[in-house]
């Protein structure tokens, strides 16, 4: 488990430093825009990599081997001068105790990522001001990843980071950029994601995240059968949630990251009742029914 130590100071404007929280690979793909001069895209890629990996995002200290592994894939779909239209895919993972395995935590695509960027402009996140959609969106997902990671190590441990992400959402209101507002027609906005994470209505999701990882995956190496039972029980937590919110956004995000992992866990090792498990999975995540059908152990 990560050992976290509280520093005795904080900054309104987050600073660069050593041994930060993230080990993030960022890729900027500009194939769709047909731009012969790729310099600005490579500069953007390097600048974002430095920004994410060298900014001190929290008042906690991570050892080098405790940094969160993550990836951001930015696909530019339109480019005109300093204006970019793009989408971003965010992926993060966390290590499993006593193994070399990294479990996927988040695998999410945001199609509403438009921003302005001038080559070589400094990228700085100010906790009190929203003045760049590029910095705002990236910083928002940093805090989402940090919060989800902490939720897997301690029950609702990520609340503080989710609150920081929500603060960015609040500051972004009125910015004119898509994805920050509550929408009657789109339940996959940045507003909705963090609002759901902090809402008691969806608390089963956060309990399941903790049980699945800390009480399930982390003990698979020592007690495979018990670990599987805990993971299966985590799936049943979603049933009560889905009865209240049949199309819960968080359930989709959970299985977008976890479907293949769940299939693999229950297709090997000590046997448990996979018939009941598959029935549960098909009720709560029918959009992955073909994956559940592959569980035949």
Q: Give the whole-angstrom CA distance, residue 216 versus residue 208.
A: 10
Same domain, 213 and 194: no
Range of the domain at 221: 204-292
Residue 166: alpha-carbon gap to chain centroid: 14
Looking at residue 16, its pLDDT comes to 45
Q: What is the mean pLDDT of residues 228-237?
A: 96
Q: Tell me whether residue 9 is in a domain.
A: no
Same domain, 84 and 114: yes
Using an 8 Å Cβ cutoff, are 123 and 135 in contact?
Answer: yes
Same domain, 44 and 187: yes
Q: What is the mean pLDDT of residues 18-27?
A: 87
Looking at residue 186, its pLDDT comes to 80
Structure tokens at 96: 């499993």
Q: Give the whole-angstrom CA distance, residue 218 versus residue 97.
A: 5
Q: How far is CA 5 from CA 60, 97, 279, in A?
A: 5, 20, 43
Average confidence score pLDDT of the chain: 91
**pLDDT over 70 for what percent of the chain?**
93
pLDDT at 25 over 80: yes
Q: Give the whole-angstrom CA distance, residue 56 versus residue 46.
A: 17
Last residue in a domain, options 176, 198, 220: 198
Looking at residue 118, its pLDDT comes to 97
3-state secondary structure of 158: coil
Using an 8 Å Cβ cutoff, are 67 and 20 in contact?
Answer: yes
Q: What is the mean pLDDT of residues 231-246?
A: 93
Confidence bin at 286 (pLDDT 50/70/90): very high
Same domain, 128 and 46: yes
Between 223 and 6, the higher pLDDT residue: 223
Looking at residue 222, its pLDDT comes to 92
pLDDT at 6 over 60: no
Structure tokens at 283: 């009720």
60, HSE (Cβ side, Cα atoms, 13 Å): 18
**Dihedral, 224, 225, 227, 231 alpha carbons, nearest 10:** 130
Looking at residue 4, its pLDDT comes to 36
Same domain, 72 and 184: yes
Using one digit for the tens of pLDDT, what is the confidence trace for 65-82?
889 999 999 999 999 989
Same domain, 101 and 39: yes
Same domain, 194 and 208: no
Between 287 and 185, the higher pLDDT residue: 287
pLDDT at 144 over 80: yes
Q: Give the whole-angstrom CA distance, residue 83 versus residue 157.
A: 37
Structure tokens at 118: 């001038």
Same domain, 36 and 177: yes
Domain count, the chain: 2
Question: β-strands 68-80, 83-95: how paired?
Answer: antiparallel
pLDDT at 227 over 80: yes
Q: What is the mean pLDDT of residues 273-277?
A: 92
pLDDT at 41 over 70: yes
Same domain, 112 and 243: no
Last residue in a domain, options 171, 198, 225: 198
Last residue in a domain, options 172, 198, 224: 198
3-state secondary structure of 233: helix
Same domain, 142 and 286: no
Structure tokens at 114: 């438009």
Q: What is the mean pLDDT of residues 38-60?
A: 96
Between 28 and 64, the higher pLDDT residue: 28
Q: Tell me whether residue 277 is in a domain.
A: yes
Looking at residue 19, its pLDDT comes to 54
DSSP 26-57: EEEE-GGGT-S--HHHHHHHHHHHHHHHHB--
pLDDT at 94 over 60: yes
Same domain, 97 and 166: yes
Q: What is the mean pLDDT of residues 92-98?
A: 95
Q: Give the whole-angstrom CA distance, residue 67 versus residue 58.
A: 13
Tell me which residue of 98, 103, 149 sits closest to 265, measured CA to CA.
Answer: 103
Query: Based on the number of CB atoms within 10 Å of its own CB, is 36 exposed (0-12), middle (13-18) or buried (19 or more)?
Result: exposed
Tell me which residue of 161, 181, 162 sits closest to 171, measured CA to CA.
Answer: 181
Q: Give the whole-angstrom CA distance, residue 215 versus residue 229.
A: 10
Q: Give the whole-angstrom CA distance, residue 255 versus residue 281.
A: 10
pLDDT at 107 over 80: yes
Looking at residue 128, its pLDDT comes to 92
Using one digit for the tens of pLDDT, what is the confidence trace for 115-136?
999 999 999 999 999 999 999 9
Q: Tell me whether residue 241 is in a domain.
A: yes
């Amino acid at each position: 488990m990560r050992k976290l130590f509280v520093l005795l100071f904080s900054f309104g404007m987050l600073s660069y430093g050593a041994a930060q929280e993230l080990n993030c690979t960022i890729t900027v793909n500009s194939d769709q825009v047909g731009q012969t001069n790729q310099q600005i895209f490579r500069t953007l890629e390097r600048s974002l990599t430095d920004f994410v990996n060298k900014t001190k995002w929290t008042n906690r200290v991570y050892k080098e081997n405790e940094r969160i592994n993550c990836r951001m894939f930015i696909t530019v779909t339109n480019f005109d001068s300093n204006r970019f239209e793009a989408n971003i895919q965010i992926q993060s993972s966390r290590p499993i105790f006593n193994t070399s395995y990294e479990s996927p935590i988040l695998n999410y695509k945001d199609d509403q990522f438009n921003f302005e960027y001038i080559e070589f402009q400094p990228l700085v996140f100010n906790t009190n001001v929203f003045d760049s959609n590029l910095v705002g969106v990236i910083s928002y997902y940093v805090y989402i990843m940090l919060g989800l990671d902490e939720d897997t190590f301690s029950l609702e441990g990520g609340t503080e980071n989710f609150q920081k992400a929500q603060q960015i959402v609040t500051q972004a209101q009125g910015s004119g950029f898509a994805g920050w507002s509550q929408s009657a027609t789109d339940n996959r906005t940045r507003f909705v994601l963090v609002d759901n994470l902090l809402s008691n209505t969806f608390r089963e999701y956060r309990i399941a995240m903790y049980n699945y990882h800390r009480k399930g995956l982390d003990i698979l190496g020592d007690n495979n059968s018990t670990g599987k039972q805990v993971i299966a029980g985590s799936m049943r937590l979603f049933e009560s949630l889905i009865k209240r919110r049949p199309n819960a956004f968080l359930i989709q995000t959970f299985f977008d990251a976890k479907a293949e992992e769940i299939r693999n866990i229950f297709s090997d090792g000590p046997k448990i009742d996979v018939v009941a498990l598959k029935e549960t999975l098909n009720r709560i995540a029918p959009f992955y029914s073909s994956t559940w059908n592959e569980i035949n152990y």
